């Protein structure tokens, strides 16, 4: 199938040489050809694979698929930094080893006890604040704080090839959604600016919120605690709940995206599944089977037989981060 796709793309390029390349940050590769061949096939009116615009729904994981996720999910780093700031004012909040590690900027120490320590830190830094204030604070951090190894802001660490892919799909009549295990409010602060995706097209893990009227002013307040986890089996559930129809295109990078890819590509008609494989230790980070963040085992083992395209970052992308362009 990949060879066919590649051939079709070559024919396209040679017969229509004046068409601008929709994916300039992608090297010529099987992945790129497969994407373009799929998009051409579902948008060709009268073609046997034609899909009406209403059904051209594409879903993208965020951490590790649209922006980086190492050495820790960006939202985790945000929570650690905010906890450290609070602890300076009130050290009595450092009631656990994980919290103490966070205050010391020790990410490995936070993760030493598993995800529980991180979740506790997320809860304490994401509660008793209106959703609007939380989003304003997240936005400020994402656009000004500096990533520990790249030196870029977090907002600059979106993947240029993926931002191009989102734009290309929208130009071809797709509606693009983020479907992330990350927090929905955290991503929404930046989704329009970073990806051209409006807040309502972000599906994610949800914190509990409550409606409250205080001194005559109504607001929606983050309570701490999680009401929905948009990961693994949660992704198809979240998509059905938020979007209400099965997408035809899904992209992810870890086994947290497996069920989403499985469900999307099992539907009738043309389907596209894609896994971003982090092979580029030089320009980004190289990790898969043994990583605690973005672990990819099942996806690697089954991509070929399921017809999912495995994107080789080192080989397939000419640029990595938008902030480097």
Give the span between the Cα atoms of 177 and 289, in whole angstroms.
27
Q: How far is the CB of 272 from its own copies (least distance, A)?
A: 16
Q: Are residues 281 and 289 in contact, defined by beta-carbon separation less than 8 angstroms?
A: no
Report how far residue 31's alpha carbon sits from residue 40's, in angstroms, rounded to the nearest whole number: 14
Minimum CB distance to its own copies, residue 221 (Å): 10
Q: Which of 43, 65, 259, 279 binds its own copies (CB under 8 A)?
A: 259
- Residue 32 touching its own copies (CB under 8 A): no
DSSP state of 92: G
Dihedral sign from CA coordinates of 241, 244, 246, 251? negative
| 150 is an interface residue for its own copies by CB under 8 A | no
* Range in contact with its own copies (rule: CB under 8 A) among 25-33, 115-123, 238-246, 314-322: 238-246
Residues 86, 313: Cα–Cα separation, whole Å? 38
Asked if 271 interacts with its own copies (CB under 8 A), we say: no
Span 81-140, contacts to its own copies by CB under 8 A: 131-132
Q: How far apart are CA 317 and CA 254, in angstroms?
A: 18
**Preceding amide of 170 cis, omega within 30:** no
In 90-144, which residue ranges form alpha helices assigned H by DSSP? 97-103, 107-111, 115-125, 131-144
Say whether residue 70 binds its own copies (CB under 8 A): no
- The answer to whether residues 102 and 120 touch, using CB atoms and an 8 Å cutoff, is no
244 binds its own copies, rule: CB under 8 A: yes
Using CB under 8 A, which residues numbered 198 to 227 contact its own copies? Answer: 198-202, 206, 209-211, 213, 217-220
Quick one: which of 95, 245, 315, 325 contacts its own copies (CB under 8 A)?
Answer: 245
Which stretches of the chain bind its own copies, using CB under 8 A?
A: 54, 131-132, 175, 184-185, 188, 192, 198-202, 206, 209-211, 213, 217-220, 233-234, 236-237, 240-246, 259, 262-263, 266
């Amino acid at each position: 199938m990949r060879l066919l796709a590649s051939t079709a793309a070559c024919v396209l390029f040679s017969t229509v040489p004046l068409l601008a390349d929709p994916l300039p940050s992608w090297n010529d590769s099987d992945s790129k050809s497969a994407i373009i061949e799929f998009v051409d096939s579902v948008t060709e009116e009268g073609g046997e694979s034609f899909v009406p615009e209403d059904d051209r729904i594409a879903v993208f994981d965020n951490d590790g698929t649209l922006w980086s996720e190492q050495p820790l999910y960006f939202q985790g780093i945000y929570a650690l930094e905010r906890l450290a700031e609070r602890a300076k004012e009130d050290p009595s909040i450092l009631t656990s080893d994980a919290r103490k590690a966070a205050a010391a900027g020790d990410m490995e120490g936070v993760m030493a006890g598993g995800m529980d320590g991180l979740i506790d830190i997320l809860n304490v830094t994401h509660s008793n604040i209106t959703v609007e204030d939380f989003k304003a604070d997240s936005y400020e951090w994402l656009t000004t704080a500096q990533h520990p190894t790249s030196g870029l802001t977090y907002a600059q660490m979106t993947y240029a090839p993926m931002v191009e892919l989102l734009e290309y799909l929208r130009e071809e009549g797709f509606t693009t959604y983020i479907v992330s295990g990350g927090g929905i409010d955290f991503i929404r602060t930046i989704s329009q600016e970073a990806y051209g995706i409006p807040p309502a097209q972000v599906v994610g893990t949800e914190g509990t919120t409550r409606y409250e009227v205080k001194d005559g002013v109504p607001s929606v307040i983050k309570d701490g605690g999680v009401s929905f986890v948009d990961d693994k089996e949660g992704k198809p559930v979240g998509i059905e709940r938020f979007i209400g129809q099965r997408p035809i295109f899904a992209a992810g990078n870890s086994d947290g995206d497996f069920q989403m890819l499985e469900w999307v590509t099992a539907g009738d008609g043309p389907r596209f599944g894609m896994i971003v494989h982090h092979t580029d230790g030089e320009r980004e980070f190289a990790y898969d089977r043994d990583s605690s963040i973005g672990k990819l085992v099942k996806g690697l083992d089954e991509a070929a037989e399921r017809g999912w395209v495995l994107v080789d970052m080192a080989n397939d992308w000419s640029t990595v981060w938008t902030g480097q362009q």
